[in-house]
Amino acid sequence: MEKRRIGSLEVSVVGIGCNNFGGRIDEQRTAAVVDAALDAGINFFDTADVYGGTRSEELLGRALGGRRSQVIIATKFGVPLDDERKGGAKPAYIQRAVEDSLRRLGTDWIDLYQLHRPDPETPIGDTLEALDALRCARTPRPWAGG
């Protein structure tokens, strides 16, 4: 499978969008899609906390299991999930959202963390500072050589 770079990440030119995981397809079918993708050399999986009502991240994490270090996971935050998790890009919300996504994915790192849509209520500088703090707070990743 041909690969391209997204910053320091080397991703397959074909990625798997996981918006149907936990919605249109169940856990068993999600696992089949993930297995087929890995067999085909695909290493890039794109999900979001809102996909499948948060189930996409859960099912992707379970389907990957011990193969987590073989893949690049992109996930997104910022879309309202419920009355308690109203979305946005304020630093406190980002911290909660990332911890929730890490738990659902069953991992201790996210390779590419993205704001799903702009938040006109939050200055972009505040959002970028919060994201940079997350990046700096994490330990080195297997894909980064240590």
Residue 139 above 70 pLDDT? no
Catalytic member of 21, 45, 51, 77: 51
pTM above threshold 0.85: yes
Q: 3-140 in CATH: which number?
A: 3.20.20.100
**Contact at 8 Å (CB) between 49 and 101?**
yes
Q: Given 3-state DSSP classes, what are the helix, strand and coil percentages for the chain, each rounded to the nearest 5?
A: 45, 20, 40
Q: Could you confirm whether 113 is annotated as catalytic?
A: no
pLDDT tens, residue by residue, 111-120: 999 999 999 9
